[in-house]
Amino acid sequence: MKIVKSIKDLSVYRKNKFVSFVPTMGALHEGHLALVREGLNCADICIPYIFLNPKQFAPHEDLEAYPKTLEADLEKLEKTGAQAVYLPDADEIYPDGFSTSVKVSGISEMLEGEFRPHFFDGVATIVTKMLLQCLPDIALFGEKDYQQLLVIKKLVSDLNIPVDVKGVPTMRDENGLALSSRNAYLNEEQYQIACHLNRILSDISKGKINENRGREALLEAGFDKVDYCTVRDAQTLLPPDENTTERRVLAAAFIGTTRLIDNLAMSQ
Ligand code: AMP
């Protein structure tokens, strides 16, 4: 597997190939690898990208603690069949004097945007840079970060970036917990609490309980704080109205200092 470190080498490597691109922050798990597998299915070459982007963490968040497992990540990517990995240094991405920010209004200002106001500008800026650096034919993102997927689709459409953005379903463990690099922060007791998140979202998605009851159920299950637990229009993320054809239930909640997010399509 080729390790590409610079923008120049990346553009030389991808030339004349039909390429898919999988951006990640490392600490790779089966969810990331599902994106790579799908990338290999739909393109000749899949290039995952590992960069722990400081711009999408606020000063009080977990940038320092975020798991860093580069050697194991490279091994997993190689085993999965990725032909190359893009592994730029921070100054390749943010050289001295870097002063541009990409902001997607509207869809990035609610839900995650309300509770992590720095987050989507950081994501939109890095994703725009990455897409322009690689100009992949296809870029894959997980539905696990459903709002992020919509923000990226919007920026690609608004800026006419010539790439097809593809969402990949969420990979879960045997207890239904969405795989996440942040699950590594959970001890056994916290893990048991975390597993209720999918169960409660599933009850909401099937209409067994409403979103308010879902929020209470999360607190009763042991979550310490619920940022949101809400049913939204799956395209706009606004509260559903008479034009809504598809709905999605989305939640973010804390166990101690660990913040978990998850979402499901509503089945009715
Ligand atoms: P991250 O490294 O957490 O920024 O995630 C990189 C990409 O992997 C994003 O597009 C995520 O949505 C996706 N991803 C993370 N966890 C999962 C999962 N459990 N299933 C599918 N995709 C995921």
| Same domain, yes or no: 190 and 164 | no
Q: Is residue 223 part of a domain?
A: yes
| Same domain, yes or no: 161 and 242 | no
- Give CA angle at 142 (227, 82), nearest 5°: 145
Residue 25 Cβ < 6 Å to ligand 1: yes
- Give CA angle at 81 (72, 262), nearest 5°: 65
Q: Whose CA is nearest to atom 11 of ligand 1?
A: 142
* Type of residue found at 30: E
Pocket test of ligand 1: the residue of 21, 22, 24 to mutate, having most ligand atoms within 8 Å of its CB, is 24
Q: Is residue 100 part of a domain?
A: yes
Catalytic status, residue 32: yes
Give the pLDDT confidence of 41-51 residue by residue, as tens digits: 999 999 999 99
Q: Please give the structure tokens belonging to residue 186.
A: 């959970």
Pairwise CA distance, residues 93 & 202, whole Å: 39
Q: Is residue 97 part of a domain?
A: yes
Final residue before a domain boundary, out of 168, 196, 212: 168
pLDDT tier at 127, thresholds 50, 70, 90: very high
Strand positions, DSSP E, 143-257:
164-168, 225-233, 247-255
Taking residues 67-76, report their average pLDDT.
96
Please, what is the average pLDDT of the chain? 96
| Same domain, yes or no: 103 and 190 | no
Pairwise CA distance, residues 189 & 175, whole Å: 14
Q: Is residue 144 part of a domain?
A: yes
* Type of residue found at 175: N
**Catalytic residue, candidates 29, 32, 118, 196:** 32
Taking residues 103-122, report their average pLDDT.
96
Q: Is residue 176 part of a domain?
A: no
> Which H or E element spans position 261?
strand 258-265
Pairwise CA distance, residues 26 & 72, whole Å: 10
Please determine, for residue 268, whether its predicted confidence score (pLDDT) is greater than 70.
no
Q: How far is the CA of 141 from the centre of ligand 1 (A)?
A: 7
Please determine, for residue 56, whether its predicted confidence score (pLDDT) is greater than 90.
no
Please determine, for residue 5, whether its predicted confidence score (pLDDT) is greater than 90.
yes
| Same domain, yes or no: 187 and 95 | no
Give the pLDDT confidence of 10-29 residue by residue, as tens digits: 999 999 999 999 999 999 99
**Beta strands across the sheet bearing 45-50:** 2-4, 84-86, 45-50, 19-24, 138-142, 164-168
Q: Which of these, 32, 121, 126, 120, lies nearest to 80 by C-alpha position?
A: 32
Please determine, for residue 256, whether its predicted confidence score (pLDDT) is greater than 90.
yes
Q: What atom of ligand 1 comes closest to residue 170's alpha carbon?
A: 20
Domain holding 115: CATH number? Answer: 3.40.50.620
| Same domain, yes or no: 237 and 148 | no
| Same domain, yes or no: 190 and 60 | no
Q: Whose CA is nearest to atom 13 of ligand 1?
A: 142
Residue 180 Cβ < 6 Å to ligand 1: yes
pTM for the whole structure? 0.97
Final residue before a domain boundary, out of 168, 191, 216: 168
**Counting every residue, how long is the chain?**
268
pLDDT tier at 85, thresholds 50, 70, 90: very high
Q: How far is the CA of 268 from the centre of ligand 1 (A)?
A: 26
Pairwise CA distance, residues 113 & 218, whole Å: 21
Residue 179 Cβ < 6 Å to ligand 1: yes
Pairwise CA distance, residues 180 & 171, whole Å: 9
Q: Which of these, 204, 209, 217, 210, lies nearest to 267 by C-alpha position?
A: 204
Domain holding 260: CATH number? Answer: 3.30.1300.10
Q: How far is the CA of 55 from the centre of ligand 1 (A)?
A: 17
Please determine, for residue 94, whether its predicted confidence score (pLDDT) is greater than 90.
yes
pLDDT at 110: 98
Q: In which domain, by residue range, is 144 found?
A: 2-168
